[in-house]
Structure 1
Amino acid sequence: MPLDRRIFLQSGAAAVVALLQPHGASASAAPPQDGRPVLGFTAVPASLRDAVVVPPEYEWQLLYPWGTPTGIAGHPMPAFAPDGSNSAADQALQAGMHHDGMHFFPLASPDRGLLVMNHEYTDEQLLHADGSKEWNAEKVHKSLHAMGVSVIEIRRTRDGWRQVRPSPYARRVHGQTPMRIAGPAAGAAPMRTAADPAGDEVLGTFANCAMGVTPWGTYLTCEENFHGYFGGPKESAKDTTPAQRRYGTVPGSQWVEYWRFEERFDISRHPNEPHRFGWVVEIDPFDPTAKPVKRTALGRKRQESATCTLARDGRVVVYMGDDARFEYIYKFVSHGKVSMAGDGSRACANSRLLDEGTLYAARFDADGRGRWLELVHGRNGLDAGSGFADQAEVLIHARLAADAVGATKMDRPEWIAVHPQTGEVYVTLTNNSQRGDPGKPAPDAANPRAGNRFGGILRWREDDGDAGSSSFGWDHFALAGDPSQTDSGARYPSDDADVFGSPDGLHFDGGGLLWIQTDMSGQLIGKPPYASLGNNQMLCADPATGRIKRFLTAPAGSEVTGCVVTPDRRTLFVNIQHPGESRDDGSATPDSAWPDGAAPGSARPRSATLAIRRRDGGIVGT
């Protein structure tokens, strides 16, 4: 085992031990920390300011904005060009756009670590010097390089956290990085293309949203809205299959014109290429030479979250959401057990665990009970007669398989977090304005509001406190919105909870505090019925007491995402995504110049990573 991976696992020993403990105990109020009560910080009011606002006891530091050199050893370190003139080659060596999920991996001391983060999508108007009116191959390559994953090395100094450049660990994984395909779908006929007749190699990962971390110290990045990058001539849309329509890979519906300049994105010519995206991708952050691996046993969908825990017998369990209206919550349970041996490489010892196991979809019943429904060929009607030739097709078309077994259609399931002491599982359901529309599913017990504008947080407890169980009990932790609006249907676990809407990011720290991040659309922020909620925000909750306090408000038009707390709980890393975005398609003039400009139009807004600390160095959340 490499030294730094061993130190990471030792630093995270408490978390690993918690994973191995039987779960199911009731949560108790978190004890005071550093002599201060939890949630003792001064709550931040809702705000429409174009600024990052944190409690007065805290300070934030700009760490890694879009365009910052990644610091890859032996390579140039091109500086960010404020006019958008960086080349595609430059962008492959810089921070990507629209930072999202991330994790901190400690190195040789608590003051050194690897920060690994996703870059979800691109704003082509900002990415290129002349916008996106005219497409060319260089713009396609730059756009692909602006997504994916960054691995950077950071260290804590007297003045705060600083990036280490160059670093032997630093790496960019992007839309043109070679990677392997593994698991039951590798080599299957629907995965084969002209460029890859074997169906086990693929070029790139993109649309990287939420994430997960394995017990053996690797990073899981999730390919979410991959469908928008595939296209083709509109007239070829008449030939699309039901499966293509179910996944949104239909010619003429693309967001960008990749297909005109990079042939593999033309669905009419290469219909199998989209099957190679929408997976959970495993990356070894400690080895920049290791090829990333797409783990097909976890199913193909618009991946949102790949949260790992352990079953009582030591098998790895991965919880996943599919972030779209009326989609599903999934669970994967490995066949083998995690190797926690103290010698050798745990990454190698556990390299097949995510390739062999059972995928399930969740059904939430009206009585507060639920079941995990197997997505296994030959069971629950998943056979050739229902359109699934083998297990590879079940996984490639996991959405259709979940349809067939009768899983519960949810209101945009996104991030999933597991309580480190009790094992309770929490999921954000961001919203679903179409719930109850004509021809759409009506409200149900798990998704109780028609025209669900504000979303909420649902939680479940696996039977016998075992994550490998086939059944569970569930309830709503919070139904978001403004309770003063009588038709909002909002319900919080305590009367003094600070209100929020459209929860998205979710993270438990080692003390059992739940960090909640929101993603209201830029089109809706500041407008009825969302006006009282202000800009997007981050809150901190103590699940045992139900208290929820607003901790941070974000710049205009931005989303708050990618929360992770260091093992010593003295630094909170947070991502501010797409500041200034006032339209979902990014076509409007940004209404922010954060973090570089004083007023809209004075600078290109940049997504960025923040490091947040108490001014006195104490534990965050107090």
Structure 2
Amino acid sequence: MTLTPSRPTGRPLLPLLNRGPHGSRSHLTCASRCGNACDKPVPNTTGHPHVSEAITSLVERRSVLRGGAALGGALVLGGISAHATSAAAAPGVAAADPRVQASLARTSFAPVRPNVRDAVVVPDGFRSQVVVRWGDKVAKGAPDFDVRRLTPAGARQQFGYNCDYVGLVPLTGKAGRGGKRALLVVNHEYTTGELMFPEGVYDEATRKRIEMAYHGMSVVEVVRGATPGSWKRVNVRSTTYNRRVHDGTEFRLSGPAAGHERLRTTADPSGTRVLGTLNNCAGGLTPWGTVLSGEENFNQYFDASGELDPRYTESYARYGISGGDRGWSEVDPRFDLTREPHEPFRFGWVVELDPLDPKGAPVKHTMLGRFKHEGANVAIARDGRAVAYMGDDERGDYLYKFVSKGKVSKGQSRKARAANKRLLSAGTLYVARLTGDGLEDGDYDGSGEWIPLCSDTQSFVEGMSVAEVLLDTRLAADKVAPTRMDRPEDVEANPVNGKVYAALTNNSRRGAAFPVDEANPVATSMVRESLGAPLTPASGNRNGYVLELSPIGGHGGRTFSWDLFLVCGDPDAPETRFGGVDKSRVSPISCPDNVAFDRAGNLWVSTDGNVLGSNDGVFRVPVAGEDRGLVRQFLTVPRGAEACGPFLTTDDLSLFVAVQHPGEVDGATFASPASTWPHTDDFPRPSVVVAFRDR
């Protein structure tokens, strides 16, 4: 079909770049978020055996494209017609029921069409509202936001910059006001100085200190609005829960590696206290009401004034630590690798924050391993133990899980919560190996096992102690030959069907540095230069997958079966698959990043880096029944932005989405922005929105 792009008034529609390793991401995004990781050597240089058959076998079996073009690893399914745009009720649901109409799990909606609008676009009958923006007051005494009068001290009291993970912790008892109040917890992954600062107002040192302060996390009390599903901020003067976690917040290290020599620095000779948390990406709510947050691309914040410590050459290389160009060491010497070679070992952990304890020190859990954590999500095993699923967001890295030694205490009493907050300090850490069952059955599926790396008392990796496994988890995992995956990001268990879903965002080098296999089968993807342009081939897996794991013996078990539930992309592209559903009914989806679930068990997927010409967005996907795999776009975010979260309230009336880096387009500056969303200023402000039924 022909798609007509929407053009923000008075603003140029720039082409999306999708040929290089950056995909559709701007170079500005890549430099700000991860220090241009795609332009650097791939950290995982292992030559592990891969899942199943080599690329030649895949080509022989599944290489015929419409029109005769051959793409390695591509799959051809039936003919394609125009994408569905009409509304359809969920299976077995009476659309006349008003509760169904309000529930995001059950309601029908006409899918949002691909677009490049500078707006949050939701289906007819729904609306979105901004809940909190960069610079809004969080702490009592916070200054009013004035982009020309920013200070590091003020930034530590305001809502931080690029917002990623979103969680909602309900308040109970009197504080909850009958279920009307809750705590919104948000990560602030990174900053983009080019879009934040007016020219000539700040010197470089002040800019750096302000950017450092805008990293971290925010806790903001919110209250339900008049329209069911809507929410708004509580005035900062009326809450005791609001909190900003920033570069000066003290964290406690827990678990077997805490206090290890490699965690000791000049400022912290004990190796148990760390200031701040960096590059926090996704996260998850625990059953005991705390929030887990993943430290991801922490490597880029460290530079060097001289030679690097030769003891850590292998470790630094495996984590991409080579001396970045942010220049933070100019204002804080702990970021100088030459002076403080141990400081990077204090980042790359899963952080636990208790939003109900605004004065308590957050914890960095060494037992969950150190790598580029997208996030962590907890399920409960059949025997009551806590199981945390995690992804290492790097091309060619691995899926992990942790199983606690202790069992989850029931209830939310002070004693039970205190016991549960110790669960992630002792247990066993595993990494995943997937095995294909061959392509004769026409599916990408197989079996898998969780390989133990260490417990809190014993290492299972030859030549490495428990602390070494946890400090250099990537190097430890390399030794047991797990499966190299295509940027494993959010990994979460579906509370309805018990299966585990992992977003595998993309890998532009799949088919080159990374041979294809049954779990990573696409070596050439169909992409677009811009909305409305024809699909054309690009090397690698550009559109990503959603992997479905079926635990054998429950979440505490050591084995599982797996299948590629979604092979993402445009339904017109022959390599795509959508759970077996008729592709003519499916919305295009590219680069899955985060996942969530509603009460019906539907999968909700947010995207980051769409290479199909459209803005990123959020999609609803049934995982069972005749509509299994029916991807339908519910929302798109503004131009240049990434859709983060998503988070659904337990009543399925509200969908929270973090709109990260709006306007982060190459060539954009503060003076000449590519976006002004949310249109309250003449520059963009990353914000959290909530979408709900408009009635």
Q: Which category of TM-score, normalised to the shorter sequence, fits these structures?
A: 0.7 to 0.9
Which of 117, 130, 138 aligns to 1:62? It is 130
Partner of 2:356: 286
Q: Secondary structure at the match of 1:517?
A: strand
Partner of 1:151: 219
Partner of 1:449: 522
Question: Displacement of 1:141 after TM fit?
Answer: 2.6
Q: Separation in 2 of the partners of 1:220 and 1:361? A: 19
Partner of 2:449: 371
* Residues 1:223 and 1:374: Cα distance change in structure 2 (over 3 Å): same
Partner of 1:24: none
* Residues 1:502 and 1:262: Cα distance change in structure 2 (over 3 Å): same
Partner of 1:431: 506
Which of 152, 173, 181 aligns to 2:253? It is 181
Amino acid at match of 2:506: N
Amino acid at match of 2:157: L
Q: Secondary structure at the match of 1:375?
A: strand
Partner of 1:80: 145
Question: Displacement of 1:130 after TM fit?
Answer: 3.6
* Residues 1:301 and 1:104: Cα distance change in structure 2 (over 3 Å): same
Q: TM-score, normalization: structure 1?
A: 0.86
Partner of 1:515: 604
Q: Separation in 2 of the partners of 1:398 and 1:195? A: 25
Partner of 2:385: 315
Question: Displacement of 1:82 after TM fit?
Answer: 3.7
Partner of 1:14: none
Conservation of the 8 A alpha-carbon contact between 2:106 and 2:600: no
* Residues 1:366 and 1:611: Cα distance change in structure 2 (over 3 Å): same
Conservation of the 8 A alpha-carbon contact between 1:147 and 1:206: yes
Q: Secondary structure at the match of 1:89?
A: helix
Conservation of the 8 A alpha-carbon contact between 1:432 and 1:453: yes
Amino acid at match of 1:173: V
Which of 628, 647, 650 aligns to 1:567? It is 650
Partner of 2:158: 94
* Residues 1:563 and 1:255: Cα distance change in structure 2 (over 3 Å): farther
Q: Separation in 2 of the partners of 1:101 and 1:30? A: 32
Q: Give per-residue Cα distances to partners, 1:406-460, cap 9 Å, x unaligned.
A: 11111000112211111100011000001122xx220111111121111010110
Aligned length: 560
Which of 601, 611, 631 aligns to 1:548? It is 631
Structure 2: segments with no counterpart, 5+ residues: 1-89, 438-445, 524-539
Question: Displacement of 1:491 after TM fit?
Answer: 1.3
Q: Secondary structure at the match of 1:304?
A: coil
Partner of 1:335: 405
Q: Secondary structure at the match of 1:552?
A: strand
Q: Give per-residue Cα distances to partners, 1:357-401, cap 9 Å, x unaligned.
A: 0000000111200000011289886233xxx2x101101111111
Q: Separation in 2 of the partners of 1:396 and 1:297? A: 9
Partner of 2:82: none
Amino acid at match of 2:374: E
Structure 1: segments with no counterpart, 5+ residues: 1-27, 617-622
Q: Separation in 1 of the partners of 2:162 and 2:669? A: 12
* Residues 1:31 and 1:316: Cα distance change in structure 2 (over 3 Å): farther
Which of 607, 612, 623 aligns to 1:530? It is 612
Question: Displacement of 1:157 after TM fit?
Answer: 2.9
**Bigger mean CA deviation after superposition, 562-571 or 302-311:** 562-571
Amino acid at match of 2:547: L
Partner of 2:467: 392
Which of 560, 563, 566 aligns to 1:472? It is 560
Amino acid at match of 1:461: S
Q: Give per-residue Cα distances to partners, 1:499-542, cap 9 Å, x unaligned.
A: 1100101111222121111101xxxx6xxx623xx111111111
Partner of 2:693: 614
Q: Give per-residue Cα distances to partners, 1:23-79, cap 9 Å, x unaligned.
A: xxxxx9675572458351121111111111101110111110101111x2xx31312
Conservation of the 8 A alpha-carbon contact between 1:179 and 1:294: yes
Which of 96, 111, 135 aligns to 2:180? It is 111
Q: Secondary structure at the match of 1:158?
A: coil
Q: Separation in 1 of the partners of 2:285 and 2:224? A: 22
Question: Displacement of 1:143 after TM fit?
Answer: 1.4
Conservation of the 8 A alpha-carbon contact between 1:581 and 1:588: no
Question: Displacement of 1:233 after TM fit?
Answer: 3.2
Question: Displacement of 1:591 after TM fit?
Answer: 1.2
Q: Separation in 1 of the partners of 2:687 and 2:679? A: 11
Question: Displacement of 1:239 after TM fit?
Answer: 8.0
Question: Displacement of 1:588 after TM fit?
Answer: 11
Aligned CA RMSD, in angstroms, stands at 2.3
Q: Separation in 2 of the partners of 1:455 and 1:577? A: 20
Q: Secondary structure at the match of 2:124?
A: coil
Question: Displacement of 1:343 after TM fit?
Answer: 4.0
* Residues 1:586 and 1:204: Cα distance change in structure 2 (over 3 Å): farther
1:171 aligns with 2:243: yes
Question: Displacement of 1:131 after TM fit?
Answer: 7.6
Q: Separation in 2 of the partners of 1:126 and 1:478? A: 35
Q: Separation in 2 of the partners of 1:163 and 1:403? A: 46
**Bigger mean CA deviation after superposition, 183-192 or 345-354:** 345-354
Q: Separation in 1 of the partners of 2:470 and 2:92? A: 40
Which of 585, 591, 604 aligns to 2:683? It is 604
Amino acid at match of 1:373: I
Q: Secondary structure at the match of 1:405?
A: coil
Conservation of the 8 A alpha-carbon contact between 1:30 and 1:511: no
Partner of 2:191: 122
Partner of 2:619: 539
Identical amino acids, percent of aligned pairs: 41
Conservation of the 8 A alpha-carbon contact between 1:333 and 1:357: yes
